[in-house]
Structure 1
Amino acid sequence: MVEQLQWGRSTLVLNDEAFARGFREGRKYYFESLVSSRARSNQLAATELLWLIAAPDEQGRYQLEQDGDLLTSLPEGVANVIGLIAGYLSGPLQPESRPERRQRLAELHAILQRAQNNTPESPPLTQASAAL
């Protein structure tokens, strides 16, 4: 049976066994670390998340590694990917703020404008997209 749990306003369906195992391990790490490093603090640093799955390379960028061997050599490391996952998962837990919404809609509007300007036959922006 697929495990499901309440995730803020959504239900998180753990329908991939490897993901589900990792999720359970991550929860164990979180609660075990409360006993040690964060027992006195309610902060969770991004570097704590990165250290769970990555190690800094010679330039200080976090890369995936196994048994001391780097598995990735991404120019910016894996921090952006891990941040993207954490940000996506935060959606049901913390509502979008007004400044975030304004920024997101402004970026979307700019993309729509560029697309319209690069395609001569495209129809004018709709009222809905223009209102963004």
Structure 2
Amino acid sequence: MLTQTEFEFTLPQGYVDSEGTIHRDGVMRLSTAYDEITPLQDPRVQRNPGYLVIILLSRVITRLGSLDTINPRLIEGLFSADLAYLQDLYQRINQAGHTRLRVACPHCDGEFEVEATPVGESSATPQNASLRR
């Protein structure tokens, strides 16, 4: 079984570049230990620990629309809703390890796993599925 290492997403608002183009669709990869350790040496993070998320996201977002480069300056320019969305996505794919849920069909009681994808992400989320505890 292959482990998924990249996750597509769609930002709620979208990054607006200097020419007015909105970039919403992107890809985030799983983080590595190096991704999480290296920013701790950055003076911006040492002055303001809240800046850690900016550096982390600039390292793990591999694509955003048609932009050539993802860097901290770009992440600083995101709308608050997009930053919150990306922080949540980062946490879910890196801390939880996956976004799979065990569900039961309400009609036949058959159990199976589905990929749960919140609004704004690209995979389809099953409708009317109930969790079995």
TM-score by length of 2: 0.29
Select the structure that is richer in helix.
1
Structure with greater proportional strand content: 2
Task: Answer with 1 or 2: which has the greater Rg.
Answer: 1
